[in-house]
Structure 1
Amino acid sequence: MAVVVEKVSGAKAGAPGQFGLINLLKVIAAQLIVLHHLAFYGPMADYARPLMPDVIDWLDSFARIAVQVFLVIGGFLVAKSLFPKGQPGLINPLGTVWRRYAKLVPPFMVAILFAVAASALANRWMTHDSISAPPDFLQLAAHALLLQGVLGYDSLSAGAWYVAIDFQLYAVVALLVWLCGRFSGSRLRRWLMPAVIIIGISMSLLYFNRDPDWDEWAPYFFGSYGLGIMAWLASDPARRPRAVALLAAMILLPTLIALALDFRLRIAVALVVACVLFLFGRARTGSYSYWGMSAVNRLAQISYSVFLIHFPVCLVMNAAFTRFVPPEPHYQALGMLLAWGASLMAGAAFYRWVELPLGRAMQSVTEVASSRTAFI
C-alpha cells in the first residue's frame, strides 16, 4: 500500500534527500499488505498452511494492521504538503482536492480494469470467493468516483477501500486548512490547526473508530491520520521546547485515554508509528545512498503501483497454481513467493508504463483546472 504526496513544481527529485525512515516504513508495510492478501485470498495459502501454519495465520490476522503505518505516514505528509509551518494558509480547496483525485484515480482505474480481466481469467481455472463477478457500468462508475464502499458496491480489487479513504481524509484536511486560514486571526493561527486536529483525533478514537458502521468514512480513520499530522507539527525544529512538549502531550493523552477505554491494537500501532515519526520522521538520506537505501527508495517510489496491481497478479497466480500445480504445501508455498515477486515486478512495470505517463498527462489538466477554480 502506498502514500501519494504532491510534489512541489520544479523541485528535483531527491535534491535535499529523501525521508529515509518513511520510505523504509512504506516498503515494509507494503510487503506486509501484499503478503496479507496472499494469505487471506486464494487457495495457495490454504494448501501451504500445513507447512507454516503460524506464519500464514499471522499474515492472515495481523499483517493487515500495517495499513496503520500508511495512515500515519499519510497524515505526516499531508501536513508537510498543505501547512508545513503548522499554520493554515489560504489554499484553493477545490484545486487541491482535484489534484489529489487526478493523481490517485487514473492509475487506480487502470488497475481496476486489470482486476476485472484477472477475475475473468481466474474464473476459468478455479472457483473461489476472491473472484469478482463481471461489473456493470454503475459499479465501475462508483469505483471511479471512489464511492464504491459508501454506495454498497463490492470492491473489484483488494485495497480499493483504502484509496477511497485516503482521498476522503485528504479532502477533509484540505477543507480544514482552508476554513482555518479564512477565519483565524493572526494570533490564533499558530495553535488553531493543532487544536482542530486534536479535536478530530479525539472524536475519531473515542467514538467513530469504535463503531464499525463508520468504516467506509474518513472519521473512522481520522485518529491514525491525525496522529501523523500531529507528529509533523511536533517535530518542527523551529518550535520552542515547551511548544514541542505540549504538542507531544496532545498526541499521547487522547490516544492513551482511548486505548484505556477500549484497547485496539491498530490504534496502539498507529501511536507507536506517530512517536517514531515525531522523533525521526524528518531525517533525510541522500538520493544515492548506502546500506541498500537506494533500493529502499526505489521500492518506496513504486509502492503505490505495487499496491494497485498486486491483487490481479496474485489472483491469476492463485488460479494458475490451483489449475496446473499439485496441491502440495511446498509447491503452493513456492507459488506464494512467486506471486510476491511477480507483484513487485508488475508494480515496477505499472509505475513506468502507467502511473508515470498518466501523472504527466494529468498534470497539465490539473493546472488548468486549478486556475479556473480559484476559491479563496
Structure 2
Amino acid sequence: MRNSTIDLLKVLASQIIVIHHLLLYTPMSPVLQAEWPALLGLIADEGRYMVQIFLVIGGFLAAQSLLGLLGKARDVAVWPLFKKRYLRLAKPFWVAIAVAVLLGWLSSKIAMHSEISDLPTLAQLLAHVFLLHDIVGVEALSAGVWYVAIDLQLYAVLVLIAWASQKTGQLKFLEPAHALLLLASAMALASLWMWNRNAEHDEWAWYFFGAYGLGVVAHWAQRESKIVLSSLLIACVLGIAMWIEWRERLLLTGVTALLLMNSAQIERFVTLIVQGPVRWLGDISYSVFLIHYGVLVFASSVVIALGLTSVAEMLLAFVATWVVSVAAGWVLHRVVDR
C-alpha cells in the first residue's frame, strides 16, 4: 500500500534541497537573497538538513522490507540484497554523473565560473562508479552525491543486522524481529549520543545511523502498534542527544520519525494533499535530487554569458533552472530509474 506521508515528505525534502543548491551555487542567488533575505537566507543556511528526512525514510522502508523477510522466515541473503540495492541506487546515479560532466564541459565553453570543474580523471570516475568517492577522498562530481554512498552503506549495515538477527532465531531465545530492533536501536543510540557528534566520520554509515535507526523504530512501532511508547522513547533519546550536544537537525529527524510512525492514522488526511502533481513529484524525487546540479551549473554559465543582472531577470532564470531541473529528473526517472 502506498504511503502518502512518505510521498509528501520526499517532495518537500527534494524540492527544498534543489532550491538550497540553487542558492549556494548560482549567480542568481546574491541578487535574490538581497531582495528576500529572510526566507532565502533561511533555505540557503538550513536547507541541507532536509537530507535527514531521506535518511529516516530510508530506514523506515528498509525495515519494512527486511522485517517482512524475517516475518516470513525467508533467508536474508546478504549479497543479493546488497547488489540489488547498489544497482537501484547506482544506475540513475551513473547517468546523472555523466550528465553533470557533460554539462560542466559545455558550460566551460559558454562562461567560466567557480562551479565548473576540470574533466574527471579515471580514478575519480571509478570512485564514483563504486560509490567510494568520499572514502577515498576524491572531489565529488555533483552536489549531494555523498548521500547516495551513505544510503548504500546504511542499507548494508541493516542487512547485516537482519542476517545476524535471523541467526538468533536458531538459538530460540530471541525472535529475529526483536533482535533486529534491539541491534538497530543500540546502534542508533551510539550514533546519536557519540558518533554523530564528530563530523570527521561523516563519510561512514555510523555517523548517520541515528536518523536511519529512528526510521527502523518508526516502522516497527507502526507494525506492532506500539506508537505511544515508541514516541515517548524517541523523544527521550533525542532529548538526551541534544542535551549532550545541541544539533538542530535532530529536531527534524524526530518529527519525521513521528510522522512516519503515525502515517497509517493520518493517511486519509495526507491523501487529500498528495494528489496528481504532488504524487508525481514524489515519484521523481530521487532522480531530481541526482540530476539537478548539472542543470544549475549549465544555467549559471548561460546567465553569466547573457549578462543578466536585474531582479526580474535573475528571478526568471532561477525559476527556469528549477523547472528544467524537475523536467530533467522526470526524464531520468522515465528512462533509467523506473
Q: Shorter-chain TM-score: which interval?
A: over 0.9
Corresponding residue for residue 292 of structure 2? 310
**Counterpart for residue 117 of structure 2:** 132
The answer as to whether partners of 2:8 and 2:278 remain within 8 angstroms in 1 is yes
Structure 2 residue 85 is the aligned partner of structure 1 residue 103 = no
Return the alpha-carbon distance in structure 2 between the equivalents of residues 230 and 86 of structure 1: 16
User: What TM-score do you get using the length of structure 2 for normalisation?
Assistant: 0.93
1:282 Cα deviation (Å)?
7.0
1:203–1:264 Cα change, 3 Å:
same
Once residues 161 and 349 of structure 1 are traced to their aligned partners in structure 2, the CA distance between those partners, rounded to angstroms, is: 22
The AA in structure 1 aligned to 2:120 is: P
Distance 1:65 1:322, change over 3 A: same
CA distance in 2, matches of 1:136, 1:262: 40
Give the alignment of 1:1-376 within 5 angstroms. Answer: 16=1, 18-84=2-68, 90-184=75-169, 185-189=171-175, 190-236=177-223, 238-239=224-225, 243-280=226-263, 284=267, 291=273, 293-356=275-338
Aligned mates of 1:219, 1:340 — CA distance in 2: 33
Superposed CA offset, 1:251-302 (max 9, x none): 232221111111101111101111111122576569xx75551322211111
**Is contact 2:284-2:329 (8 Å) kept?**
yes
Tell which deviates more after alignment, 162-171 or 186-195.
Answer: 186-195
Deviations 1:190-249 (A, max 9, x none): 42222111111111011111001001110110001111110000112x44xxx5554334
CA distance in structure 1 between the partners assigned to 2:106 and 2:265 by the alignment: 45
TM-superposed CA distance for 1:162, in Å, is 0.5
State the distance in 2 between where 1:327 and 1:178 align.
Answer: 58
Q: Which moved more, 1:256-265 or 1:187-196?
A: 187-196
Range 215-224 or range 120-129, more displaced = 120-129
- The CA deviation at 1:186 is 3.9
- Rounded Cα–Cα distance in structure 2 between residues aligned with 1:345 and 1:312: 13
How many Å separate the matches in 2 of 1:89 and 1:173? 16
**Range 55-64 or range 65-74, more displaced:** 55-64
Q: Which consecutive unaligned segments of at least 5 residues does structure 2 have?
A: none
Matched position secondary structure for 1:152: coil
Determine the C-alpha separation between the residues in 2 that align with 1:103 and 1:191.
28
Aligned partners of 1:231 and 1:251 also within 8 Å: no
Root mean square deviation, CA, Å: 2.0
Instruction: Say whether the 8 Å CA contact 1:51–1:330 is kept in structure 2.
Output: no
Number of residue pairs matched by the alignment: 334
Distance of 1:246 and 1:123 partners within structure 2 = 56
Following superposition, which runs of at least 4 residues in structure 1 exceed 6 angstroms of deviation?
none
User: How much does 1:147 deviate?
Assistant: 0.3
2: CA distance, partners of 1:224 / 1:202? 10
Is contact 1:302–1:348 with CA below 8 Å preserved after alignment? yes
Q: Which amino acid aligns with 1:79?
A: A
Aligned-residue offset at 1:84: 3.5
Distance 1:326 1:106 in 2: 36
Gaps of 5+ in 1: 1-15, 357-376
The DSSP-based 3-state class of the residue aligned with 1:83 is helix
C-alpha separation between the residues in 2 aligned to 1:247 and 1:85? 23
Counterpart amino acid of residue 102 in structure 1: L
- Aligned-pair identity (%): 35
Cα distance in 2 for residues equivalent to 1:354 and 1:279: 33
| Structure 1 counterpart of 2:256, one-letter code | V
Distance 1:353 1:85, change over 3 A: closer
Deviates more, 1:129-138 or 1:32-41: 129-138
1:86–1:233 CA contact under 8 A, matched in 2: no
Pick which of 202-211 and 323-332 moved more. 323-332
Q: CA deviation at 1:341?
A: 0.7
| CA displacement 1:64-115 (0-9 Å, x = unmatched) | 1111111111111111111148768631010000000111111111110110
Q: Which has the higher helix share?
A: 2
TM-aligned CA distance change 1:281 to 1:303, over 3 Å: farther
SS of the counterpart of 1:50?
helix
Counterpart residue identity of residue 29, structure 1: A
